[in-house]
């Protein structure tokens, strides 16, 4: 900074002090973090894989809440969710995940997770063997009907 002679007497010149390296007392060397092994895809426990959410979950949640005399806001606080999530669940616009289902089951004392029922798929009977003659007949019928 440039100043006149009369102002120069009011201050002192600026001098940079040399940087002094602080001694390291707590860490003698570089910090090495432990290696975290790569995650494998999580396998769900059998009990989770075999459970589904009940089809009428929205009615069950609403009736369970009303039976206890709670408002939607009360239920949201108990399960630590947003009010909008509870509203969407009760209207059926959103289905709860397994963790939220368990919380709702516990608080409302209802059953939301039911055993999975697999409907057997209808078996389609295919001919034992398909020959070139069968293919020609099929194509012939398709071409014949297209010409009509």
Q: What is the DSSP letter of 115?
A: E
Per CATH, the homologous superfamily of domain 47-115 is: lambda repressor-like DNA-binding domains (1.10.260.40)
Residue 52 φ then ψ, to 5°: -130, 160
Convert 17-51 to b/e letters by CB count within 10 Å (16 or more is b): eeeeeeeeeeeeeeeeeeeeeeeeeeeeeeeeeeb
- pTM equals 0.49
Which structure tokens are listed for 136?
Answer: 């020609």
Q: In the chain, how long is the greatest CA-to-CA distance?
A: 117
Ordered per-residue pLDDT tens for the chain, 148 residues = 677 888 888 877 777 777 776 666 665 666 677 777 766 665 555 555 678 888 899 999 999 999 999 999 999 999 999 999 999 999 999 989 989 999 999 999 999 888 887 666 666 665 567 777 777 777 666 666 555 4
Q: How many CB atoms lie within 10 A of CB 144?
A: 9
**Residue carrying structure tokens 């709702």:** 104
Domain ranges in the chain?
47-115
């Amino acid at each position: 900074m440039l100043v006149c002679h009369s102002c120069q007497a009011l201050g002192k010149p600026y001098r940079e002090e040399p940087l002094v390296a602080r001694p390291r007392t707590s860490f003698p060397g570089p910090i090495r973090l432990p290696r975290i092994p790569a995650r494998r895809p999580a396998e769900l426990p059998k009990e989770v894989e075999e459970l589904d959410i009940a089809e009428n979950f929205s009615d069950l949640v609403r009736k369970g809440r009303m039976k206890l005399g709670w408002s939607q806001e009360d239920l949201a606080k108990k399960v630590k969710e947003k009010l909008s999530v509870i509203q969407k669940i009760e209207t059926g616009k959103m289905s709860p995940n397994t963790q939220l289902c368990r919380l709702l089951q516990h608080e409302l004392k209802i059953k939301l997770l039911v055993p999975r029922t697999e409907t057997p798929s209808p078996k389609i009977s295919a001919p034992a063997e398909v020959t070139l003659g069968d293919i020609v007949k099929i194509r012939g019928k398709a071409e014949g009907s297209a010409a009509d």
